[in-house]
């Protein structure tokens, strides 16, 4: 029975390791996560920046990543300044007004990317 437990545990860990995905966004930031989940944003491979589940992220060539997270809370939208490495949390309307002021396009589901999009072969293209 003990051997069966260890075999199942090793199999489970192997499945998790094999389902880990990592995709390059911009300026050293990556969207990483497990298959079947939404991802998290890391700087490099090991430094977590956004640990809420990212539902969608898009980028702006002016040095910003922005998007929204799961959970439905009012401040579930983020703006990540890639040069200063700072994250601001804000409401949807506030985020759209801010990114327009910065010269980036508003949140658009057709431009956002997530782990499922990457698996389907889409690329991350900042405006």
Decide: 41 and 75 in contact? Cβ < 8 Å. Answer: no
Which sequence spans correspond to the domains of the chain? 20-119
Exposed, middle or buried: residue 54 (CB in 10 Å: 0-12, 13-18, 19+)? buried
- Full pLDDT tens readout for the chain, 127 residues: 888 888 888 888 888 778 888 999 999 999 999 876 789 999 999 999 999 999 999 999 899 999 999 987 778 999 999 999 999 999 999 999 999 999 999 988 888 898 888 888 888 888 7
Predicted confidence at residue 121, as pLDDT, reads: 84
Predicted confidence at residue 124, as pLDDT, reads: 87
Per-residue DSSP letter, 4: H
The β-bridge relationship of strands 47-60 and 20-24 is unpaired
Predicted confidence at residue 64, as pLDDT, reads: 96
């Amino acid at each position: 029975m003990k051997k069966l437990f260890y075999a199942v545990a090793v199999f489970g860990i192997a499945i998790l390791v094999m389902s880990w995905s990592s995709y390059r966004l911009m300026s050293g930031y990556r969207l990483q996560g497990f298959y079947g989940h939404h991802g998290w944003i890391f700087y490099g491979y090991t430094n977590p920046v956004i640990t809420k589940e990212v539902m969608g992220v898009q980028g702006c060539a002016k040095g910003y990543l922005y998007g929204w997270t799961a959970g439905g809370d009012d401040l579930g939208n983020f703006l990540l300044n890639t040069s200063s490495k700072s994250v601001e949390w804000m409401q949807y309307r506030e985020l759209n007004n801010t990114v327009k002021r910065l010269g980036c396009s508003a949140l658009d589901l057709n431009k956002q990317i997530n782990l499922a999009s990457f698996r389907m072969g889409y690329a991350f293209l900042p405006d």
